[in-house]
Amino acid sequence: MPACLPVGFARRRVPGQPYPGLVKSTTQAVGATHGLLLADLVDAERAILDAFEGDAYEQQPVEARLVRGVDAPYAWATASARRDASALTLSKSETAAVAYLWRDAAALQPELWAPEEHFAPHLLAWTAMCKRFAVEQPGVSDMRRAAEAQRAADA
């Protein structure tokens, strides 16, 4: 689901990588940080996310606001420009969530992460890496089977 973190967070560039590091920010000019809220994950799915994100990130409770009026959530979350912002509706209440924050903010580049510039050119390589992770990362196949079993049991 499309969601925003309030002022106080920023996606900054990880040196040499196409992905961002989310950090706390005191810069008011950053504005809300846009992303996706993954809801209703079973424990095994959370374990896969933890393995994927690795030790560079730490989980932190946050308050997010859901965004309505978005037709393409992934494209919206990874776009820098918000030309359609007036057509969007933020929920009035905040939703408890967990975000993966980059542990060593000082190691990040000072510039903000711009998906169109820093991620989009690497999309094919990123997709291939994700597929390799799903197949080759120790334990992920077992976690996927556990997630499928949990989902089936909950149905």
Give the model's confidence band at 88: pLDDT under 50 very low, under 70 low, under 90 confident, else very high: low
List C-alpha distances in Å: 24 to 27, 37, 106, 119, 149.
9, 18, 11, 21, 36
**Cβ neighbours of residue 35 under 8 Å, at least 6 residues apart?**
2, 3, 4, 5, 77
The answer to whether residue 81 scores a pLDDT higher than 50 is no
**Burial group, residue 2, by CB count within 10 angstroms (0-12, 13-18, 19+):** buried
Domain region containing 99: 2-154
Structure tokens at 8: 């106080």
The tens digit of pLDDT for each residue in 24-78 reads 987 766 677 888 899 888 888 888 999 999 999 999 999 998 888 787 777 767 7
Please tell me the total count of domains within the chain.
1
Q: What is the DSSP letter of 85?
A: G
Q: Which of 52, 48, 38, 40 is nearest to 151 (CA)?
A: 40
Helices (H), the chain: 43-53, 73-77, 115-118, 123-136, 140-154
Residue type, 84: D
